[in-house]
């Protein structure tokens, strides 16, 4: 007896969405499953299609050859994009990400360079934190002096407050007397 409709659905056959391209069986399925279009790649990596194209223009991601009119990407491309996004979250630039990708492996030879790069980034971030804390301190001082209604009844120039390290005119005038 021939295959029933249910048996036919279980067969390892994939039809292209464009009928004239053909029917593929068995081995082709694995290759197709590993490959993806730019939209699928972008979604899998959590970025937009334009980001993928931007990375291609910058040389971070290679443009694969066209297959059946489409460029096909792999899981390795997803990993590359996720790596770039992650190191950018850590404060590295796109150029830094490319240089890290160029290293490829963490070996005895590359470990000192990786340590140096990370140490430099840590110092840079610590400096930014110190700058941000200083900015918060100045804003608090400004808010408590010039920005506070309780600080004084008179008027003062914001430029004078700035020139006097955020002390309002009334405060500095009292000190001058």
Domain-embedded: residue 92: no
With the C-alpha atoms ordered 158, 162, 163, 166, is the resulting torsion angle positive or negative?
Answer: positive
Residue 47 lies in a domain: yes
pLDDT for residue 35: 82
Question: What is the predicted pLDDT for the residue at 104?
Answer: 80
CA–CA gap between residue 35 and residue 54 (Å, rounded): 20
pLDDT, residue 158, reads 74
**Number of alpha carbons in the 13 Å side-chain half-sphere of residue 4:** 1
pLDDT value of residue 142: 78
Closest residue by Cα to residue 174 from 152, 158, 157, 142: 152
Q: What is the pLDDT of residue 74?
A: 93
Say if 129 falls within a structural domain: no
Residue-range definition of the domain harbouring residue 65: 7-75
Strands 66-67 and 23-25: unpaired
- Residue 84 in any domain: the answer is no
Which of 148, 158, 159, 156 has the alpha carbon at shortest distance from 173? 156
Tally of domains in the chain: 1
List the Cα angle 167/162/123 in 5-degree steps: 105
Q: With respect to residue 152, please indicate whether it lies within any of the assigned structural domains.
A: no
pLDDT value for 68 = 83
Looking at the domain assignment, is residue 13 inside a domain?
yes
- Domain CATH number, residue 39: 1.10.1660
Kindly list the averaged pLDDT for each block of 10 residues, start to end, along the chain of length 177: 45 48 44 76 96 95 87 94 96 93 87 93 96 92 71 67 68 50
**97 located within any domain:** no
Q: Is residue 121 part of a domain?
A: no
């Amino acid at each position: 007896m021939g295959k029933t409709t249910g048996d036919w659905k279980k067969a390892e056959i994939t039809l292209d969405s464009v009928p004239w391209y053909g029917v593929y069986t068995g081995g082709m399925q694995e290759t197709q499953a590993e490959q993806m279009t730019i939209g699928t790649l972008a979604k899998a990596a959590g970025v937009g299609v334009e980001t993928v194209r931007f990375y291609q223009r910058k040389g971070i991601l290679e443009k694969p050859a066209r297959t059946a009119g489409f460029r096909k990407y792999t899981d390795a491309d997803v990993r590359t994009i996720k790596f770039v996004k992650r190191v950018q979250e850590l404060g590295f630039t796109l150029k830094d990400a490319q240089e890290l990708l160029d290293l490829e492996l963490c070996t005895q030879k590359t470990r000192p360079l990786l340590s140096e790069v990370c140490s430099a980034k840590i110092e840079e971030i610590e400096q930014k934190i110190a700058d941000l804390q200083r900015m918060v301190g100045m804003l608090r001082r400004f808010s408590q002096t010039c920005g506070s209604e309780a600080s004084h009844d008179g008027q003062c120039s914001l430029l004078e407050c700035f020139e006097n390290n955020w002390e309002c005119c009334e405060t500095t005038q009292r000190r001058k007397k």
